[in-house]
Amino acid sequence: MERTNAEVKIIKGKTKLMREHVGLASMLMPLDFVQDDDQNTMATDGKKIFWAEKFVEDTDLPELMAVFIHEVLHVVYEHPYRRGDRDPKLWNVACDYAINNYIIDTLRLSLPQGGLYSYKYRNMTAEQIYRILDTDDDAFEDMMQNAKSISSDESLSGESNQSKSGNKYEDIPTQVGEVLDATDEDGNPLSKDQIEEAVTAIRQQLSTANKVEALNGTSDLKGVIESNSSIRVDWVASIADWLQDVFSYVHSYKKPNKRHLARDYYLPSKVPLNNGGELAVAIDTSGSICQEELNYFGSILEQ
């Protein structure tokens, strides 16, 4: 069967990527490319990359390769397995900010129109970025303005396939290169054991790709692996999430919600409780914690 122009273009992009970014290409090759014209651009669930024919045909090859890298980085950073109970559309935005900085600043590649970018989120994990966007109305408004300004194309303003009706984030425009939740062959959510198995396989592939890259004399994956090491045990983010739940936010009209003012809705925004409780800090003096570690703990508490 004769290949379509889009299929030929994808093959060319893969081949060129293998020559120019062998480590990232090594992570891309195990992923199945599946045509899915219900997608606006491309998307990945950790095992497959779904692509829309029109998007592939309309995108220049260098930018298409950048989207390949964008999708494979979603897999490398294990984004399809880490959303949890977070809103899928806001999670997509947070993941995009986390990886597009690497694509633009480190790899010096250009993304097609609709690729989110903000230098202020550089070196942050998707979880950290999500927390900022979820709790800081000004940060959310900046993101919405950014997203809408680069998503003027009607094809990039649709609903995410995973968005929920009535969700407060339903107005977020769909971005280039989505991340979908990983599922089994029947479309069911993965169990904890299945997620652990999938993540272990990704890390093994990443280790192999890094060795291939070293033999080739390139280092595209070095920064990715270093960033991933902070994701493994992100205890600061975990404690921050817990504290946020304990010292919860309340809705107040003292600070109107900016995201609804344009529609003449005067609604409250979330503000932190002034007296949410007391936080006790215990210091280990048994000798297993050195002064350098104590200084580090103290610096975190001061943030």
Per-residue model confidence as pLDDT tens digits over 205-218 = 988 888 888 887 77
Torsion of CA 153, 67, 33, 204, to 10 degrees: -150
Give the per-residue pLDDT at 56: 96
158 has pLDDT over 60: no
**Dist. CA 177–CA 130, nearest whole Å:** 17
269 has pLDDT over 60: yes
Most confident of 100-109, 227-236, 237-246, 249-258: 100-109
Give the per-residue pLDDT at 113: 73
151 and 144 Cβ atoms separated by less than 8 Å: no
Can you give the pTM of this predicted structure?
0.73
Confidence tier at 88 by pLDDT (50, 70, 90): very high
Q: Find the helix packing angle between 137-150 and 126-135, rounded to 10°.
A: 110
From 149, 88, 87, select the one nearest 118 (Cα to Cα). 149
- Angle ∠(290,291,294) on CA atoms, nearest 5: 95
Q: Which long-range contacts (CB under 8 A, 24 or more apart) does 106-111 make?
A: 106/220, 106/223, 107/21, 107/66, 107/69, 107/220, 109/62, 109/65, 109/66, 109/69, 110/62, 110/63, 110/66, 111/63, 111/66, 111/67, 111/70, 111/176
- Domains of the chain, by residue range, sit at 5-232, 235-303
- Angle ∠(160,165,166) on CA atoms, nearest 5: 120
Report the range of poorest mean pLDDT among 66-75, 204-213, 218-227: 218-227
108 versus 50: the higher-pLDDT residue is 50
Specify the 3-state DSSP secondary structure of 177.
Answer: coil
Confidence tier at 276 by pLDDT (50, 70, 90): low
Give the per-residue pLDDT at 148: 80
Please, which residues have CB within 8 angstroms of residue 86's CB and are 6 or more apart in sequence? 130, 134
Mean pLDDT for the chain overall: 82
DSSP annotation of 157 reads: S
Give the per-residue pLDDT at 153: 47
Q: What sign has the CA pseudo-torsion 231, 235, 236, 240? A: positive
What Rg, from alpha-carbon coordinates, does the chain have? 21
Specify the 3-state DSSP secondary structure of 255.
Answer: strand
**Model confidence over 92-124: pLDDT tens digits?**
999 999 998 888 888 888 877 767 888 889 888
166 has pLDDT over 60: no
Give the per-residue pLDDT at 82: 92
161 has pLDDT over 70: no
- Mean pLDDT, rounded, for 248-271: 75
Q: pLDDT above 70 covers what percent of the chain? A: 80
Helix, strand and coil content of the chain, in percent to the nearest 5, comes to: 55, 10, 35
Which amino acid is located at 36 in the chain? D
